[in-house]
């Protein structure tokens, strides 16, 4: 056959990744996308156009599980009536339930974390219709050595020596990661897993023990993200305050932050997921005094009643937590502080709820997520006595939510007159509440105290700011926890 008669090469298979849940899942999806792109797959944003629809699921709470199942079923509809040849479930729900999910959802191929290194092969098999034996879930906390000495044994240098010797991204391999969405903000995963044993949380059982990533790997990935246009780096993990403890240096985060801030192109570094019980003066100092590191504290309080916290297998109480917040605000009075709280935990009394109210009123937080307790499979709390009636849980959620809205709206109003540095994320003209009073919006972004997805945003009035630019604006109004701010030249 002559070259002219040779058949065209087969088209590269296409895959659409649908990501649910937290920013840690976003990183996982981009790492999977990087592996697939390296193996010749074409990534598409449209599930309708894909040969394979892969759903990175969330398995944290009941609402997230339902959302994951609904998304998988919607993808299965594409398989029945469209181009899609396979639907694949990955992520926390898939890992946590394995065979059980596969039996309940035969339309999808269910893969576990151990399949990620061979993801291209697994998707090819799914397209062919090959049978896949789903994994039997197991407690992943026992799969890795816990001792820092054991984990460190294979490393040629200590983590601190790595930081000292860092010479730039050219000294190491490029990250195996492909950005699925543009924009000036991206998460960077510090670690995987968790060594804490909160009685309500199943994450450690399916995410495994806490394992820090090597500093050189993080710095190389940060440099790669900056080269792709990222201006704000959001450090994520199950527990960022623990970073480095398994590498033999508990203060490694404090040492890493200045190095990340020096990466060319980055303008902001933000740390999410901090454990109040593990906060230390040196970390507070690093988060409030390191140039380009924003004074932002995403503190996982969960409750403030000492009795409830003990049943949660957590530590602290209202006065200790208020003392921690005071330590932060002494160093950075305008620091952003947010948290999540769980109400209706087994054994929670009216007195416990009043104690939580005392904390929230005294803390003056910028954002609070309020969640009602529900049993989670395999957790200690699911077997505790003193369960609160579901109707009462809902009533408590509504009560605390109303209080939180009042308090966080007032906290936002406290910022009127303040000058804020805003990272511009969108600059399309749009209407917003208060437009007639303050003027047309020119852009939307986030001030230093506002993290992506979980906090409010800042509407900008005036000027022509570009996406990725950090501009200084004056707060002139609020809409709930969102700020309205004017750029220079706007009266």
CA distance 312 to 301: 11
SS (H, E, C) 255-288: HHHHHHHCCCCCCEEEECCECHHHCCHHHHHHHH
- For residue 491, say whether it is annotated as part of any ligand binding site: no
Nearest to 175 by CA among 271, 37, 270: 37
Phi, psi of 352 (to 5 degrees): -65, -40
Number of other residues whose CB lies within 10 A of the CB of residue 391: 8
- Residues 240, 272 contacting (CB under 8 angstroms): yes
Strand partners, 154: none
Pairing outcome for strands 296-298 and 211-212: unpaired
- Residues 278, 238 contacting (CB under 8 angstroms): no
CA distance 367 to 303: 15
Q: Give the list of residues 6+ apart from residue 116 with CB closer than 8 angstroms, or none.
A: 28, 31, 32, 35, 90
182: left (phi over 0), alpha (psi -120 to 50) or beta: beta
- Residues 112, 95 contacting (CB under 8 angstroms): yes
- For residue 22, say whether it is annotated as part of any ligand binding site: yes
Q: Give the list of residues 6+ apart from residue 329 with CB closer than 8 angstroms, or none.
A: 335
Say how far residue 14 (Cα) sits from the centre of its chain: 27
- For residue 123, say whether it is annotated as part of any ligand binding site: no
Helix 318-331, helix 350-363: angle, nearest 10: 10
Q: Which two tokens stand for residue 276?
A: 């109040």
- For residue 198, say whether it is annotated as part of any ligand binding site: yes
Strand partners, 232: 185, 268
**DSSP letter string over 155-189?**
-SS-HHHHHHH---GGGSPPPS---SS-SSEEEEE
CA distance 405 to 399: 10
CA distance 13 to 245: 42
Number of other residues whose CB lies within 10 A of the CB of residue 239: 21
- For residue 92, say whether it is annotated as part of any ligand binding site: yes
Task: Please report, in angstroms and rounded to a whole number, the separation of the first and last CA atoms in the chain.
Answer: 75
Strand partners, 236: 189
- For residue 201, say whether it is annotated as part of any ligand binding site: yes
Residue list for the binding site for [4Fe-4S] cluster: 22, 58, 92, 194, 198, 201
Residue list for the binding site: 22, 58, 92, 194, 198, 201
């Amino acid at each position: 056959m002559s070259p002219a008669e040779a058949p065209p090469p087969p088209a590269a298979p296409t895959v659409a990744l649908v990501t649910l849940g937290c920013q840690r899942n976003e990183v996982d999806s981009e790492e999977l996308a990087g592996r697939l792109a390296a193996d010749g797959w074409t990534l598409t944003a449209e599930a309708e156009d894909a040969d394979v629809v892969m759903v990175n699921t969330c398995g944290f709470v009941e609402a997230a599980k339902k959302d994951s199942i609904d998304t998988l079923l919607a993808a299965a509809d594409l398989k029945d009536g469209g181009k899609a040849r396979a639907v694949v479930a990955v992520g926390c729900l898939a890992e946590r339930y394995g065979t059980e999910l596969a039996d309940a959802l035969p339309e999808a191929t269910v893969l576990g974390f151990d399949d990620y290194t061979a993801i291209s092969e697994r998707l090819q098999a799914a397209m062919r219709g090959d049978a896949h034996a789903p994994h039997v879930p197991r407690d992943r906390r026992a799969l890795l050595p816990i001792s820092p000495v054991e984990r460190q044994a294979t490393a040629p240098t200590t983590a601190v020596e790595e930081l000292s010797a860092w010479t730039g991204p050219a000294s190491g391999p490029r990250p195996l990661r492909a950005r699925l969405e543009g924009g000036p903000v991206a998460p960077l995963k510090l670690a995987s897993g968790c060594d804490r044993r909160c009685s309500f949380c199943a994450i450690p059982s399916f995410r495994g023990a806490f394992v820090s990533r090597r500093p050189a790997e993080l710095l190389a990935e940060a440099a790669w993200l900056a080269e792709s246009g990222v201006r704000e780096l959001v450090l994520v993990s199950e527990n960022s305050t623990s970073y480095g403890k398994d590498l033999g240096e508990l203060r490694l985060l404090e040492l890493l932050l200045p190095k990340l801030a020096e990466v060319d192109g980055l303008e902001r570094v933000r740390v999410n997921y901090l454990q109040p019980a593990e906060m230390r003066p040196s970390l507070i100092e690093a988060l409030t005094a390191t140039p380009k590191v924003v004074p932002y504290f995403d503190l996982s309080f969960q409750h403030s009643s000492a009795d409830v916290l003990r049943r949660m297998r957590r530590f602290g109480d209202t006065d200790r937590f208020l003392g921690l917040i005071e330590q932060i605000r002494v160093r950075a009075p305008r620091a952003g502080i947010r948290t999540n709280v769980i109400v209706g935990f087994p054994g929670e009394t009216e007195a416990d709820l009043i104690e939580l109210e005392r904390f929230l009123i005294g803390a003056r937080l910028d954002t609070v997520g309020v969640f009602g307790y529900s049993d989670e499979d395999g957790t200690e709390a699911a077997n505790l006595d003193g369960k609160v009636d579901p109707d009462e849980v809902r009533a408590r959620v509504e009560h605390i939510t109303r209080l939180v809205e009042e308090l966080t709206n007032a906290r936002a109003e406290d910022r009127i007159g303040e000058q804020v540095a805003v990272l511009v994320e969108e600059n399309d003209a749009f209407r917003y509440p208060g437009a007639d009073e303050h003027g047309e919006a020119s852009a939307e972004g986030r001030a230093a105290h506002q993290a992506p997805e979980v906090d409010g945003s800042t509407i900008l009035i005036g000027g022509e700011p570009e996406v990725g630019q950090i501009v200084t604006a004056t707060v002139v109004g609020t809409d709930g926890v969102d700020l309205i701010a004017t750029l220079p030249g706007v009266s």
